[in-house]
Structure 1
Amino acid sequence: MMKKESSGERIRARRKALQLTQQALAKIIGVSHVAVSQWEKEETVPRGENLLRLAQWLQCTAAWIIDGDGEVFATHAKAAPVAAVPLISLAQASAWLSEERLLLKQQAAHFLYSESQLSDGALAVTIDDQAMQPDYRPGDKVIFDPDVQPQPGDVVLALVDGVARVRIYRLQTQQQDEQIFTLRALNDDFPQLHSADSALEIIGTLMELRRYRSG
């Protein structure tokens, strides 16, 4: 007789299917990551509002979580998978294309949650200068995806001589396997950058802009 999957195993399976870490799931539910770990180990059981929020974010029914009964998915809602995108500093983003990416994701203390189709490598940063004004302001949070190839006019996160910067991409020419491109700011006080003159590397293409009211 096949062993019935436990509630903790169901929670873990749904969380992993949605590519959420225990920490990310805990943040959006409003509990500690220890609580999520205890649910998955079946040391405790989610109840009340926590159970309802867990079912909502795992996109399944509360009854299925607890007992494995009925349909997995709630029939009244077919929400898109929610991606937890690590929000990191621009200094950390400078290492995003290196082997440090996994460590940076694991160490991230803050996340932006998105229903966009994003790759596992998506990241979010906070704009910290005036270069992209007036369209992008200091304090704006922006999500980039390294797996999306930029098109001329797209906003990108790029390495500029080892420093992560948000700029507008413009392809100049393709020379064999090398792309010659420029990066420009919206603010004319900032110089245009050319890949033939500076060490430029695209980290990711802009997917979302988040602006929050201050005060």
Structure 2
Amino acid sequence: MTTNADTQPTSTRACDGLAQRIAALLNDAAITHEALEAAAGVVPGIVAKWLSCELLDIGHGQAARIQEAYGFNMFWLITGRGNQRIPSLIGPGQKAAPKYLNSYQPESFTARLHYAMGLRGIRQKSDIAEAGGISAAAVALWFSGAPHSIEEEKVAALAKFLRVEPDWLRDGTGPMEGAVNVRPAEIGKRRVPLISSVQAGLMHETVTPFPTGGAFEYLLTDLDLSDSAFALEIEGRSMEPDFREGDRILVDPAVRPIAGDFVVATNGRDEATFKTYRPRGASAMGFEIFELVPLNPDYPTISNESVPLRVVGVMVEHRRYRRR
């Protein structure tokens, strides 16, 4: 006697989860296939392929756009884990609060300050306090959104530090950047989500889980990356001196590693680690053998012969932020 699972085709069982989640999304949001395809930025017919199991995966970029449009948790949509919706996300028709690094015209001084800091890669409020010649308490008041007045010379100093026009920073009038003989380097328009090592460890192939919670943080790039590209912040000292804690890297799972590449890999505990990739040939069974090598000699090299390792993606960009 066989169970239903025994008689069900393996390919059907493999795609049931995604198909059911897409069906639930369509039903709960009361939208058409065409509307979902437009929101996800995919060609017509893709939704039908998801529902019929012709396509077994949904790309990170597609799920991110669906989450932004309809409030469904991208992590749930891709993996089936977590809450179906993120409460902090708004529904269609509601006015959205300004988003970090999003393409909007900021409506308040605080929003413009956040926006300019994001574009320039400035992360510390202490840098703003120093640039404006003001106290940390005053900066905290600015970021709280509470009513406040700002002296002209402090606005001018901040604008110079952030490379924006003082009028734009103060009250939102005029262009953000003026006609100057030195302009900021192009940062790019492609947004790559910053995720944690735990979320990176949950990845498989071109599926990227989105960090839990409703807040996005993105890095902007002009690189031509796959939809599954993501960013990580370096933790620990195993890759010093080239990579320091707090540095950020962009990783593309669609790039195949070669010897000497810096890669993100799972370490057998559903958590990602960042090391140098060193292939060691094939085993007697024909499986690839490789090692993950730290740059810091105080840390051990690990091999997939002794630890279950899987390369998630290859680093394609490294960013280091100024430290004081």
> Taking structure 2 as the reference length, what is the TM-score of the superposition?
0.43
Flag the structure with larger Rg.
2
Q: Is the deviation greater in 110-119 or in 98-107?
A: 98-107
Q: Deviations over 1:39-93 (max 9, x none)?
A: xxxxxxxxx979x88xxxxxxxxxxxxxxxxxxxxxxxxx897321110111221
Bigger relative contact order (CA 8 A; separation at least 6): 1
2:103 to 7, 19, 29: 29
Query: Shift in Å at residue 174 of structure 1?
Result: 3.0
The alignment partner of 1:93 has SS state of helix
The match for 1:170 is 278
- For the residue of structure 2 that corresponds to 1:171, the secondary structure is strand
Residues 262 and 275 in structure 2, CA contact (< 8 A), matched pair in contact too: yes
Indicate yes or no: 2:232 matched with 1:125: yes
Structure 1 residues 177, 149: closer, same or farther in 2, change over 3 A? farther
Higher share of residues assigned helix? 2
Structure 1: gaps of 5 or more residues: 1-12, 33-47, 54-78
Partner of 2:318: 209
- Residues 88 and 108, structure 1, Cα contact 8 Å, conserved in 2: no
Q: 1:186 to 1:99 in 2, by over 3 A?
A: closer
**Alpha-carbon deviation of 1:109?**
1.9
| Structure 1 residue aligned with 2:305 | 196
Q: Kindly indicate which of the two structures has a greater share of residues assigned to strand.
A: 1
Alpha carbons of 1:117 and 1:108: their partners in 2 closer, same or farther (altered >3 Å)? farther
Deviation at 1:137? 0.3
Q: In the comparison of the two structures, how many residue pairs are matched?
A: 163
Mapped partners of 2:215, 2:104: distance in 1: 17
Query: Could you tell which deviates more after superposition, 167-176 or 190-199?
Result: 167-176
C-alpha contact 2:196 2:211 (8 A) present in aligned 1 = no
Change (3 A) 1:108 1:205: farther
Kept after mapping to 1: 8 A contact 2:195/2:210: no
Q: 2:51 matched to which residue of 1?
A: none
What amino acid sits opposite 1:131 in the alignment? S
CA gap 1:138/1:198 in 2 versus in 1, 3 angstroms: same
| Counterparts of residues 62-101 of structure 1 (less than 5 Å) | 82-97=189-204, 101=208
Q: Give the deviation of 1:25 after TM superposition.
A: 8.0
3-state secondary structure, aligned to 2:102: helix
Letter in 2 for 1:193: I
Percent of pairs with identical residues: 30
The secondary structure found in structure 2 opposite 1:92 is helix
What amino acid is the match of 1:170? R
Does structure 2 conserve the Cα–Cα contact (< 8 Å) formed by 1:86 and 1:105? no
Q: Which amino acid aligns with 1:165?
A: T
| TM-score between the two structures when normalised by the length of structure 1 | 0.63
Unmatched segments (≥5 aa) in structure 2: 1-37, 43-60, 69-95, 107-167, 177-185
